[in-house]
Amino acid sequence: MKKILYLVRHCEAEGNLNRIFHGNYDSDITENGRRQLEQLALRFAGARIDALYSSPLRRAKKTAEAVGRGKDLEIKICPGLIEINGGSLENRPWKDFPLLSESEAYNWVYKPAEVRMPEGETMRDLYDRIWDALAGIMNTETDSDIVAAVSHGCAIRAFLCRALGWGIERLGDVEWCDNTAVSKLLFDGESFSVVYMNDSSHLDSSLSTLKKQNWFRDSENYFNG
């Protein structure tokens, strides 16, 4: 029998709102993020979950609390679910990225598989790390058929790329997901298959983070949002 994984992106946080790079930086959530969590909690209110995991960062843990609301589940912290380490970009405005490294800023938009964050993590490292973390969780949870895990936008994008059966070279073909978006996958003990991905239907347009931003639609505005 295949196990089910619900992979959830954290709610809107200060970095998302203000276009500041918060990879490993532990920013708090926004008021809109709190409203997103109310809708996420309603989405999962009637859903069975046997085990619940989170990245160690505050924005992810608060999201995990909403997923598990009313279920009496321990939130297990998994460092492997953390966002890409942005190195010298951490807690700096996205507009500074081209100033820190023009070549890596170009790669981030046009060649994401080749990204090496200045003094931080490579995208290839993240691609392997997030896969190993989630496969490890699913294999560790021998008595749990349905697992939920909360992670981050770039990490989820890298994981979904591999779950789709694609090499990291196709990372740019995976769309960014909204805050609190949910992906459902099946795990057979070795690999994942996608049931659906990046679903944020529990959010109306007034709560969506992406619908209020233009950076992900237009590469010319990527670093200015």
Q: What is the pLDDT of residues 10-29, one digit of tens each?
A: 999 999 999 999 999 999 99
What pLDDT, on a 0 to 100 scale, did the predictor assign at position 197?
A: 98
What pLDDT, on a 0 to 100 scale, did the predictor assign at position 224?
A: 74
Is the pLDDT score of 218 beyond 70?
no
What pLDDT, on a 0 to 100 scale, did the predictor assign at position 220?
A: 61
Instruction: Count the residues in the chain.
Output: 225
What pLDDT, on a 0 to 100 scale, did the predictor assign at position 205?
A: 92
> What does pLDDT average to over the chain?
95
Which residue reads 């800023």 in tokens?
105
Is the pLDDT score of 136 beyond 70?
yes
Helix residue spans in 73-204 (DSSP H): 97-100, 102-110, 123-140, 153-163
Instruction: Find out whether 13 and 38 touch, Cβ atoms under 8 Å.
Output: no
Helix residue spans in the chain (DSSP H): 14-18, 31-44, 58-67, 97-100, 102-110, 123-140, 153-163
Q: What is the mean pLDDT of residues 74-91?
A: 98
Would you place residue 214 in the very low, low, confident or very high pLDDT band (cuts 50, 70, 90)? Answer: confident
For the chain, the domains span: 3-208
d(CA 49, CA 68): 8
Residue 70 Cα distances to 31, 45, 169, 196, angstroms: 22, 8, 41, 25
What pLDDT, on a 0 to 100 scale, did the predictor assign at position 134?
A: 98
Task: Count how many Cα atoms sit within 13 Å of the Cα of residue 170 in the half-sphere of its side chain.
Answer: 11
What pLDDT, on a 0 to 100 scale, did the predictor assign at position 213?
A: 80
Q: Which of 45, 66, 17, 59 is nearest to 208 (CA)?
A: 17
Residue 22 Cα distances to 65, 128, 146, angstroms: 21, 20, 29
What pLDDT, on a 0 to 100 scale, did the predictor assign at position 222?
A: 77
Backbone angles phi, psi at 24, to 5 degrees: -90, -5
What pLDDT, on a 0 to 100 scale, did the predictor assign at position 153?
A: 97
Q: What is the mean pLDDT of residues 190-199?
A: 97
Would you place residue 154 in the very low, low, confident or very high pLDDT band (cuts 50, 70, 90)? Answer: very high
What pLDDT, on a 0 to 100 scale, did the predictor assign at position 225?
A: 62
What pLDDT, on a 0 to 100 scale, did the predictor assign at position 216?
A: 62
Q: What is the DSSP letter of 6?
A: E
What pLDDT, on a 0 to 100 scale, did the predictor assign at position 126?
A: 98
What CATH number is given for 3-208 in this structure? 3.40.50.1240
d(CA 192, CA 3): 9
Q: What is the mean pLDDT of residues 145-171?
A: 98
